[in-house]
């Protein structure tokens, strides 16, 4: 499968379903694909009701990343990949800021591979890879995908930091660090002007992680981890704080 995240996810899902599983190889041609979408064997296909609601866990036989193809990407598509890269700063990738592009990609892949190796089917720790994605997916669905995935995740990272601060999990300095990392990649920090808070809350309530009420992956004293049973009022307040 040669292409971006949609191509590799669709091909991976097809490979998992065809003859109950056939071998496949991913050759991601976008930054988003190289640092995230093609790594880890989790495939997902969108439905009108939301992101990645149909899928399977099916590892590729190999993932081949050629960074030269990234030079062909439109600026906004390249920047979308930076949204996922920003996430890794808070998952053990603090030194990314000092790396060149190839080193950053390799470090992101290494972080994700290490997490997946310990929890291939997302029964526990792998959930941390969804950092920023609960609001991110809701924004994509609500906006009919006008926002690129990485742009939505970037906003989701800021939201998650603000929410974590409201819950007493992190301090103001850590929130500021989130804003600084996201802004450093020239990514959005606030909700789109036409964002509907009620709609976003409803969509986040339908997120696949939301088993015991609103569930978010949040930073805290033990690092990034899933937090269940978040009050709607707290999530709503955090959304209002990052409104444009």
The 10 Å CB-count burial string (b at 16+, else e) for 16-36 is beeeeeeebebbbbbbbbbbb
Residues marked active site are found at: 20, 42, 84, 112, 122, 126, 130, 133, 137, 149
Q: Cα dihedral angle (15, 17, 22, 27), rounded to 10 degrees?
A: 10
The terminus-to-terminus CA distance of the chain in angstroms comes to: 38
Q: How many residues does the chain have?
A: 244
Residue 189 φ/ψ region, left for φ over 0, alpha for ψ in the -120 to 50 degree band, beta for the rest: alpha
Q: 28 and 77 in contact (C-beta within 8 Å)?
A: no
């Amino acid at each position: 499968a040669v292409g971006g995240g949609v191509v590799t996810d669709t091909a991976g899902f097809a490979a998992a379903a065809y003859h109950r599983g056939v071998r496949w190889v991913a050759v991601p041609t976008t930054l988003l694909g190289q640092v995230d979408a093609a790594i880890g064997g989790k495939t997902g296909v969108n439905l009108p009701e939301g992101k990645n609601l149909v899928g399977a866990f099916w590892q590729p036989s190999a993932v081949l990343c050629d960074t030269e193809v990234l030079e062909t990407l439109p600026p906004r598509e390249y920047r979308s990949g930076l949204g996922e890269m920003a996430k890794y700063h808070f998952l053990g990738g603090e030194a990314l800021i000092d790396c060149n592009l190839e080193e950053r990609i390799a470090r992101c892949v290494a972080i994700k591979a290490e997490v997946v190796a310990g929890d291939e089917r997302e029964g526990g720790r792998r959930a941390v890879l969804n950092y920023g994605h609960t609001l991110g997916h809701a924004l994509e669905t609500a906006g009919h995908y006008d926002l690129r995935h990485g742009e939505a995740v970037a906003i989701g990272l800021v939201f998650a930091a603000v929410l974590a601060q409201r819950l007493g999990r992190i301090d103001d300095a850590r929130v500021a660090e989130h804003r600084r990392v996201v802004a450093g990649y020239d990514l959005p920090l606030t909700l789109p002007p036409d964002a509907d808070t009620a709609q976003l809350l409803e969509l986040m309530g339908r997120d696949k992680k939301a088993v015991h009420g609103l569930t978010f992956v949040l930073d805290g004293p033990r690092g990034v981890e899933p937090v269940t049973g978040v009050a709607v009022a707290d999530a709503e307040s955090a959304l209002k704080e990052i409104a444009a």
